[in-house]
Structure 1
Amino acid sequence: MAQAAEPSAATSNTGMKEARTPSAKPSRAPLPESVEQREGAAVAAPPSFYSFSQLGDHLWTVRWELAAVGGAMAVIGFRDWGWGDSGFRFIEEGWFAKNTRHGGMDKIGHAFSTFVIADLLTDQIRANAANPAGAQITGSLLAFGIMGLVETLDGFAGKHRFSREDIAANAVGAAFSMIRNTVPGMREKLDWRLMYTPASYERPGITTSDAGILPPYERQRYVMALKASGFEGLKNTPLRYVELHAGFDARGFEKKERALGYPIERTFYVGVGLNLNEILFGAGTLPNFAKHRDTLPARIARKTFEYIQVPYTAVYGGNRFSTIRR
């Protein structure tokens, strides 16, 4: 036992000497290869490139949103657009000329619808996908595909038919969403919105004449809103609550308007509006609902104000052009 204890004491003394030596460092046993690989995989950043595996992940992430959009389109298509009431036919509709069917409102409507669908899908992918890189690409591609299918089914509707111009308009909406969600700060600065104009904005007699689910063209106005709150030098000033607007609508193209004798009018608007999201949910000095901004009702309201222009929250000056009586 005495002999066994001596090496132990020697080892202890040696260890104390080594511990007092400044250059001594504790050794680290190498991890098994599998553990190091697992640790490396845990801290590795996700790839930033776009791939088919990402596309599959993104599709799975928004499967319920795609089902909801498809169901809504089917209801509107069969109820209001007359899908299936004729054989497949093409139509040349033109763009914004005075001899077109809707003065270009249908083309803006296609682009805007594609843009909104792309934005909503992009947001869901970014929030829920395992690898959200390229979410704006997937969102825009899906929206363009959905609206392309809608246009194909329009080819089987006697009052609509398949329009190449509508496909081009869909591409514009998808591209705008992709750019807006790719360029840093652009989404904070620029909104594209639809206003459902109240009767006081219109001439007497213009109402929801076709009683469809969507607002008719004679009650629509489209607005681009440039938000001061998105600019670094203005977001902490009272100007954060202000927007600059540019808008467009067309009147006198629909059957009821023609029956009432209204002239063809296309109008550009410029104006100044209130940023409702900033007023209600921003971090400024005004008392508001900022502390509730992440609740479900607040998220719904914020998303609505991003795409819907509320009447009487802006002042416009309009310039009508090509006023023609049929």
Structure 2
Amino acid sequence: MRNRYGCWTAMGLFACLTATPACAEALESSIPEENAPFRIAAPQTLAGIAPEHWDLDDIARAERGAATEARLAALPQEAQPAPAAYGPPAPPSPSDPAAAPSITDGPPPRDANGHVPREFSTHRGFFRQTGAVGTELALLSAYVGAQSIPKLFKPTTGFHFKDEGWFGKDTHNIGVDKLTHAYNTYLIAELLHYRIHRNTGGSEGDALTAGILAAGLMAINEISDAIEPDSGYSMQDVTMNIAGAAFSVLRNTVPGLKEKVAFKLEIIPNGNIYSHVGKKHYEQQRFMFSLKGAGFEGLERSPLKYLDLQVGYYASDFLNSDRDRGITPKRHLFVGVGLNLGELLFAKSGSRIGRAAYSVLDYLQVPYTSLRYDTTGRFGN
């Protein structure tokens, strides 16, 4: 497409140039004498000016007249009018820094999310940006792989798929495990984006690179489930992994979204305070999207900046012991208002610890700092 437009431009310029008197005269002089009948006719004389002297300066003199020319000749040289010329003024010389500023002077431009456009980026493309976080990827791969090692010491089977369902009451964990997949992938994508953004100077596309790496890492990790007899490679899990990574990409590319919306996890203590694995682990979890008052300019001088509007989900009564007693599992879709402790305690902190705490609290909701109402009629935390 670009070559086609370039061809039309060249043809247009050629047509314009050949229409000028100077070009016509040059073409005429270039034709051999024996081809004289095919010469271009010389232009007619204008105001007594010979064709061989056709230029704008001569036309201007003819129009001014002899008397005016005599007065102009008496002026000092620096006061003489500048000779006219065809076409636009010549561009400033590149050798003059003041006249021809370089686009590379100063810091590169950045968008609202702090990303440098591709033409100014130091790391263009997926593979160059991936190379900027080789150490981080190695550490994450080692951590994810370590989670799968215990499975190798248990009975295994061949690779197989399994339909685990979504949020139905007949599923093992009533969908909480699916939100766990989305949240874990989201966290990995956020971490990788932070490191890529820092290591590449904010090169454009770093959020997408981070999202692809996070979703790919979690998809590989899913293989360990595919060799368990009572589990399998779940496409529902993979879909939720992609959803979590996609939200990270949106949050880091859509202007203002990161300041306004957060994907958070709250862990409610149980009798063991914290259960690392199993159904009890899932029962402790509350997942929510928080609309942050601090992200809206109209609320920056209001106490509402310290509050978040929450929409979330959790499940209860789905332990094996609950099912054995005939208790029906419950799904809780809730709305509520939560306290944004990060904004309240660390928004103005200048210390490294304070900034780190502010970042952590953008992903975690502290227990018992919210009031909610859910679909089971429960009001409270």
The verdict on a shared fold, with TM-score over 0.5 as the criterion, is: yes
Matched, 1:99 2:170: yes
Aligned to 2:358: 302
Q: Which moved more, 1:47-56 or 1:168-177?
A: 47-56
Matched, 1:216 2:267: no
- Deviation of 1:72 (Å): 1.4
- Deviation of 1:291 (Å): 2.7
Partners of 2:357 and 2:206 lie apart in 1 by: 23
Q: Tell me the percent identity.
A: 34
Matched, 1:254 2:319: yes
Partners of 1:276 and 1:219 lie apart in 2 by: 20
- Deviation of 1:190 (Å): 0.8
Q: Secondary structure of the equivalent of 1:245?
A: strand
Partners of 1:134 and 1:82 lie apart in 2 by: 41
CA displacement 1:202-260 (0-9 Å, x = unmatched): xxx78766x53997211111111111000010022211111111121112223243346
- Deviation of 1:188 (Å): 0.6
Aligned to 2:239: 168
Q: Is the 8 A contact 1:228 1:240 kept in 2?
A: yes
- Deviation of 1:105 (Å): 0.9
Aligned to 2:203: 132
- Deviation of 1:162 (Å): 0.3
CA displacement 1:102-160 (0-9 Å, x = unmatched): 11111111111111111111111112214521111111111110111111232122333
Aligned to 1:14: none
Cα 1:29–1:113 change in 2 (3 A) is closer
- Deviation of 1:41 (Å): 5.4
Determine which structure has greater relative contact order: mean sequence separation of CA pairs < 8 Å that are 6+ residues apart, divided by chain length: 1
Q: Is the 8 A contact 2:268 2:284 kept in 1?
A: yes
Matched, 1:76 2:147: yes
Question: Please, what TM-score do these two structures have when normalized by structure 1?
Answer: 0.75
Q: Is the 8 A contact 2:279 2:319 kept in 1?
A: no
Partners of 1:177 and 1:79 lie apart in 2 by: 30
Cα 1:153–1:115 change in 2 (3 A) is same
Q: Which of 331, 344, 350 matches 1:291?
A: 350
Q: Which of 187, 192, 202 matches 1:116?
A: 187
Q: Is the 8 A contact 2:157 2:229 kept in 1?
A: yes
Aligned to 1:287: none
Q: Which moved more, 1:84-93 or 1:272-281?
A: 84-93
Q: Is the 8 A contact 2:123 2:129 kept in 1?
A: no
Alignment of 1:263-274 (within 5 A): 263-274=328-339
Aligned to 2:375: 319
Q: Hey, which bits of structure 1, 4+ residues long, moved more than 6 A?
A: 49-52, 80-84
Q: Is the 8 A contact 1:80 1:212 kept in 2?
A: no
Partners of 1:169 and 1:235 lie apart in 2 by: 34
Could you tell me which amino acid in structure 2 is paired with residue 56 of structure 1? F
Matched, 1:192 2:263: yes
CA displacement 1:280-316 (0-9 Å, x = unmatched): 1124xxxxxx232xx1x22332222111111011122
Partners of 1:197 and 1:142 lie apart in 2 by: 31
Q: Is the 8 A contact 1:111 1:174 kept in 2?
A: yes
Aligned to 1:57: 128
Q: Which of 284, 293, 304 matches 1:239?
A: 304
Matched, 1:159 2:199: no
Q: Is the 8 A contact 1:81 1:154 kept in 2?
A: no
Aligned to 2:251: 180
Unaligned runs of 5+ in 2: 1-77, 81-91, 97-101, 109-115
Matched, 1:279 2:334: no
Could you tell me which amino acid in structure 2 is paired with residue 146 of structure 1? L
CA displacement 1:163-221 (0-9 Å, x = unmatched): 1111111111111111111111111111111111122xxxxx78766x53997211111
Q: Secondary structure of the equivalent of 1:159?
A: coil
Cα 1:188–1:66 change in 2 (3 A) is same
Q: Secondary structure of the equivalent of 2:376?
A: strand
Aligned to 2:111: none
